[in-house]
């Protein structure tokens, strides 16, 4: 009988994210970003992290502003609504943050190589771009079969991937739907996976629809029940994006002093996600909850 992997968010972060870790987050691009986990990393003063992701949105910016990150390997860091991520920009301009630039496709390819256990994968993309100036994991090569010029994308194997899902059982088997982005590749390329989840369900619920399983439970180190764990980003089937939160954060990050105030008010002085949600308020959360449900057609797995 497998052992339960359920634990608190604080325990999961403490046990599985030591300083200096490489952490993949925000793997679904603009949705399902594990903000609750990021805030716990800030509370625990994690340091010297390498952050890996495609479009990380303000999650990476918050970790940079809190002093958690030393390096970023990403396609884009910013505020999806307003553009610039001020903490990220200041850190780059001050020379305190190392950046490895990617396209969405090269970060996917790097993780796919890591998942396959090969040192690199060849692609045609990125040739002729400026990505080679900041990314030592990109090399121009000649195909030994056709003689074509290709780009070799070095594998990325994060220490950990953090993923927010709609439902999971206590053993780490999870259902996930919506835009996968690079989530499956990141989970398979990483040494460990932490799942934060909207709901905990029986294993029979997961096995009833195997095509929706994100990653097998044996690949998962921790399962954390965190309703609204991706807020203010959206979760398909649960809640919409809080656009106002992104607009408010734009102003909160314009200076280091403004961000320090925001971080104290919304992270350091908030003990956990439940207290964070109380500060947001039930009325605001109710406005974001789905009013119009669009259900998929059932599938018959009988034989």
pLDDT at residue number 5: 98
**Which residue segments constitute the domains of the chain, with CATH numbers given?**
9-119+155-288 (3.40.1080.10)
CA distance 22 to 161: 9
- φ and ψ at 244, to 5 degrees? -65, -35
State pLDDT tens for residues 170-221.
999 999 999 999 999 999 999 999 999 999 999 999 999 999 998 889 999 9
SS (H, E, C) 74-104: EEECCECCCECCHHHHHHHHHCCCEEEECCH
State pLDDT tens for residues 43-74.
999 999 999 999 878 999 999 999 999 999 99
In contact, 156 and 114? CB cutoff 8 Å: yes
**What are the beta bridge partners of residue 24?**
52, 161
Give Rg (Cα) of the chain. 19
Q: What's the pTM?
A: 0.95
Q: Which class for 26: exposed (0-12), middle (13-18), buried (19 or more C-beta within 10 A)?
A: buried
Token digits of residue 139: 């090399």
Interacting residues of 121 by C-beta distance below 8 A, sequence separation 6+: 109, 110, 112, 113, 152, 153, 155
Give me the tens of pLDDT residue by residue for the chain, a chain 303 residues long. Answer: 789 999 999 999 999 999 999 999 999 989 999 999 999 999 999 999 999 999 878 999 999 999 999 999 999 999 988 888 999 999 999 999 999 999 999 999 999 999 999 999 999 989 999 999 989 999 999 999 999 999 999 999 999 999 999 999 999 999 999 999 999 999 999 999 999 999 999 999 999 999 999 888 999 999 999 999 999 999 999 999 999 999 999 989 899 999 999 999 999 999 999 999 999 999 999 999 998 899 989 889 988
């Amino acid at each position: 009988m497998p052992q339960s992997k359920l634990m608190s968010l604080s325990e999961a972060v403490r046990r599985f994210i030591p300083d200096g870790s490489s952490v993949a987050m925000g793997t679904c691009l603009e949705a399902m970003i594990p903000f609750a986990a990021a805030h716990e990393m800030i509370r625990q003063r994690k340091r010297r992290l390498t952050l890996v992701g495609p479009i990380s949105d303000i999650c990476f910016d918050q970790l940079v502003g809190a002093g958690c990150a030393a390096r970023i390997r990403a396609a884009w860091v910013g505020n999806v609504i307003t553009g610039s991520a001020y903490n990220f920009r200041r850190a780059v301009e001050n020379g305190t943050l190392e950046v490895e630039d990617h396209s969405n496709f090269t970060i996917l390819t790097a993780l796919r190589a890591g998942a396959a256990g090969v040192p690199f994968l060849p692609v045609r993309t990125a040739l002729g771009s400026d990505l080679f100036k900041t990314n030592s994991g990109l090399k121009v090569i000649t195909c030994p079969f056709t003689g074509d010029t290709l780009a070799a994308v070095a594998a990325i194997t994060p220490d950990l991937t953090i993923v927010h899902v709609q439902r999971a059982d206590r053993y780490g088997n999870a259902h996930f739907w919506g835009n996968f982005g690079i989530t499956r590749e990141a989970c398979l390329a990483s040494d460990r996976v932490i799942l934060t989840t909207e709901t905990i369900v029986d294993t029979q619920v997961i096995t009833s629809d195997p095509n929706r399983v994100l990653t097998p439970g044996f690949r998962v180190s921790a399962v954390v029940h965190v309703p609204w764990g991706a807020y203010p980003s959206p979760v398909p089937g649960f809640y919409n994006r809080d656009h106002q939160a992104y607009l408010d954060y734009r102003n909160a990050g314009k200076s280091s002093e403004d961000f320090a105030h925001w971080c104290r008010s919304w992270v350091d002085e908030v003990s956990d996600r439940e207290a964070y949600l109380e500060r947001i308020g039930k009325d605001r959360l109710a406005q974001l909850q789905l009013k119009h449900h669009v259900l998929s057609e059932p599938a018959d797995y009988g034989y």
